[in-house]
Amino acid sequence: MVFVAFFGYYPIAKQKLEMLPHRALEHFCKLLLFNASIASGLAIMAYILGVTQVLQSIGDFGRYSPLVFLAVGNGMFLLYDVTLTRYYTLYIRRFRYKFVRK
């Protein structure tokens, strides 16, 4: 569900978001997209598919656990974003010429 809600289309959205004029606006929009995607994915799982154990298990860890999970998720997303950029650059510089016919 997380793949469908976010990671499936993110590389395409990332390319468009990186065209924004300011770096701070770019990062803000990326984080906003990530948080909206994760929240909507959880809502779909809980209320439409009926998988309420997901929301209950998040709340079982304590009062502030949703905020902790969200903060850790945002950190992991930023790491994912940097890694995706570096792998894309590596592909363009070293491997693309092997796969593209001239």
Taking CA atoms, 56 is separated from 21, 46, 60, 62, in Å, by 41, 10, 6, 11
30-74: pLDDT as tens digits: 999 999 988 888 788 777 877 766 666 666 666 677 778 889 999
5-34: pLDDT as tens digits: 677 888 889 999 999 999 999 999 999 999
- Our count of domains for the chain comes to 1
As a whole number of Å, the end-to-end CA separation of the chain is 39
How far is Cα 101 from Cα 50, in angstroms, rounded to an integer? 49
DSSP 91: I
How far is Cα 3 from Cα 30, in angstroms, rounded to an integer? 16
Domain that holds residue 80: 2-99
Read off the pTM.
Answer: 0.75
Torsion angle defined by CA atoms of residues 68, 72, 77 and 82, in that order, rounded to the nearest 10 degrees? 140
> What helix, strand, coil percent values describe the chain, rounded to 5?
80, 0, 20
